[in-house]
C-alpha cells in the first residue's frame, strides 16, 4: 500500500516538472523568435546595399563599417566613377573591400525552409549583389619615406605602391617620388583640367620643419588622397600627364640601362614599368609595346628564352590588327627566332612575315627590337 502511494507521488511530481519545463521553453521561444535574427539581418543587408557611402572621422563609425564589410565595395566602385566625389574629411584610404558574405546566424541555400519568405528575400539580395558589376579600384599607399641628402640638396623620397583592391598581386608596382615631382604633376594638371582640379587639395610647401616625422606623415597621407582624387576622375586618369607621372621615369631608366648593357638591372626596371601600366589599365598603348620590347631584349640577353618568347607572343596579340605598326616586323622576326630556339610553333608568324613582304614591306631593312629601343625617343 505504501509502495503504491509512493509510486503515484513520484509520477505526479514528474508530470508537473515536465509541464514547467515545456512552459519555460515556450517563454524563451517567444522572447527570441527564430525569425528575429533574419529580420535584423535583412534590414542591415538592405541598408548596406542601398545606402550612400559616407566618410566619418569618428572611431566608432569606422569600427562598425569594418565589422559590417558588405556594401562598401559597391559604393566605393561608384565613387571611383564619379569625378565630382570629394574625399575630404576621410582619415585615410579604405582597406581593400571585402566581398559580401552571409551572416553565420542566417540560413542560406538548400538548408532554409521552403516556406520562409525572409529566406527567399535574402537569397535574392545575395544573388543580385554577387552578379552586379563592381568596378575595380586602385589604391595608392605610401609605404616608406626617407630623407635623402645630396651635395647641394636635401629632400624626402616617398615610395608609393599601386594596389588593386580585391587582388593579391605577386609583385608590387612601386614608384619613388619627391615633393617637387608631385608639385609638377599638380601644376600641369591644373593648367589643363582647371575645373576638375578646383576641388582637389594639394599640400602646400613649407619653409621650415620639412623633415620632421609629423610633416612627413601628414604629407604621406595627403599624397595618397591626392592620387586617389585624381584617379577618381576619368579624364584625368586617362591623361598622359597623369599616366607618365608613374612610369615614364622607369622607361627612361630602363632604356639607359639596356643601352649600356646592364641587362639584369634593366630587366627589373622594365618589369616594374610593365606592372605600373598594368595597374593603370594602359596595356594597349605604344609605351606598353616598347616595355614588352625591352623585356624581350633583356630576357634574351640573359638567356631566358622562354620568358622572351612569352613577351613576344603577348606583343603580337596586341598587334594582331595593326599591320602598319613599326614594331610589328621586329616582333615577328624575334618571335620566329625564339620559337625555333624553344621548340614552339612559328608558322603563324612566318605567314604574317610573308604577308608583309608581299605587301612591299622591306623586311631586310627592318631594325631589330634592340635597335628600336635605342632609337625610341622618350620625351
pLDDT of amino acid 206: 82
Tell me the three cell numbers of residue 112.
532554409
Residues of the chain with pLDDT under 70: 1-136
Residue 24 burial class via C-beta count within 10 angstroms: exposed 0-12, middle 13-18, buried 19 and up: exposed
Q: Provide the pLDDT for residue 254.
A: 97
Q: Give me the pLDDT at residue 333, please.
A: 96
pLDDT for the residue numbered 137: 85
Position 8 scores a pLDDT of 60
296 three-class SS: helix
Give pLDDT, residue 352: 94
Question: What global pTM score does this model have?
Answer: 0.65
3-state secondary structure of 129: helix
Distance of alpha carbon 319 from alpha carbon 328, whole angstroms: 7
User: What is the Cα–Cα distance from 262 to 240, expressed in whole angstroms?
Assistant: 28
Task: Tell the residue number behind the cell numbers 566602385, with chain if given.
Answer: 77
- Give the pLDDT score at 257: 97
Distance CA 299, CA 307 (A): 6
pLDDT of residue 183: 97
pLDDT for 67: 33
Dihedrals phi, psi of 360, to nearest 5 degrees: 95, 10
Give the pLDDT confidence score for residue 221 in this predicted structure: 96
* Res 41: pLDDT: 35
- For residue range 30-78, what is the model confidence (pLDDT) as tens digits? 343 333 333 333 333 233 323 322 223 333 333 333 333 333 333 333 3
Q: What is the pLDDT of residue 328?
A: 95
Number of H helices, E strands in the chain: 16, 3
pLDDT number for residue 92: 35
pLDDT at res. 22: 47
Whether the Cβ atoms of residue 252 and residue 378 lie closer than 8 Å to each other: yes
Q: What residue ranges define each of the domains in the chain, with the CATH number in brackets? A: 246-378 (1.25.40.10)
Amino acid at each position: 500500500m505504501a509502495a503504491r502511494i509512493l509510486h503515484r507521488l513520484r509520477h505526479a511530481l514528474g508530470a508537473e516538472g515536465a509541464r514547467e519545463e515545456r512552459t519555460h521553453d515556450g517563454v524563451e521561444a517567444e522572447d527570441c523568435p527564430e525569425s528575429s535574427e533574419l529580420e535584423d539581418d535583412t534590414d542591415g543587408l538592405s541598408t548596406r546595399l542601398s545606402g550612400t557611402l559616407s566618410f566619418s572621422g569618428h572611431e566608432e563609425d569606422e569600427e562598425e563599417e569594418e565589422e559590417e564589410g558588405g556594401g562598401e565595395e559597391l559604393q566605393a566602385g561608384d565613387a571611383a566613377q564619379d569625378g565630382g566625389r570629394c574625399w575630404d574629411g576621410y582619415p585615410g584610404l579604405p582597406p581593400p573591400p571585402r566581398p559580401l558574405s552571409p551572416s553565420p546566424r542566417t540560413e542560406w541555400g538548400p538548408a532554409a525552409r521552403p516556406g520562409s519568405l525572409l529566406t527567399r528575400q535574402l537569397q535574392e539580395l545575395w544573388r543580385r549583389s554577387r552578379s552586379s558589376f563592381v568596378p575595380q579600384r586602385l589604391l595608392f599607399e605610401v609605404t616608406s619615406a626617407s630623407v635623402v641628402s645630396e651635395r647641394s640638396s636635401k629632400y624626402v623620397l616617398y615610395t608609393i605602391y599601386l594596389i588593386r583592391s580585391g587582388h593579391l598581386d605577386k609583385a608590387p608596382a612601386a614608384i619613388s617620388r619627391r615633393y617637387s615631382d608631385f608639385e609638377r604633376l599638380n601644376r600641369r594638371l591644373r593648367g589643363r583640367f582647371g575645373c576638375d582640379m578646383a576641388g582637389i587639395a594639394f599640400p602646400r610647401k613649407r619653409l621650415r620643419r620639412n623633415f620632421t616625422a609629423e610633416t612627413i606623415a601628414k604629407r604621406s597621407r595627403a599624397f595618397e588622397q591626392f592620387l586617389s582624387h585624381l584617379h577618381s576622375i576619368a579624364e584625368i586618369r586617362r591623361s598622359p600627364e597623369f599616366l607618365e607621372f608613374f612610369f615614364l621615369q622607369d622607361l627612361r631608366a630602363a632604356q639607359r640601362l639596356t643601352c649600356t648593357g646592364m641587362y639584369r638591372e634593366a630587366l627589373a626596371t622594365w618589369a616594374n614599368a610593365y606592372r605600373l601600366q598594368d595597374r593603370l589599365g594602359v596595356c594597349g598603348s605604344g609605351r606598353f609595346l616598347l616595355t614588352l620590347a625591352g623585356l624581350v631584349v633583356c630576357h634574351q640577353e640573359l638567356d631566358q628564352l622562354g620568358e622572351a618568347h612569352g613577351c613576344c607572343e603577348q606583343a603580337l596579340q596586341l598587334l594582331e590588327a595593326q599591320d602598319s605598326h613599326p614594331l610589328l616586323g621586329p616582333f615577328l622576326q624575334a618571335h620566329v627566332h625564339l620559337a625555333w630556339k624553344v621548340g614552339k610553333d612559328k608558322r603563324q608568324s612566318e605567314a604574317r612575315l610573308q604577308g608583309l613582304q608581299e605587301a612591299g614591306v622591306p623586311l631586310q631593312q627592318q631594325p631589330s627590337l634592340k635597335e628600336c629601343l635605342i632609337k625610341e625617343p622618350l620625351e
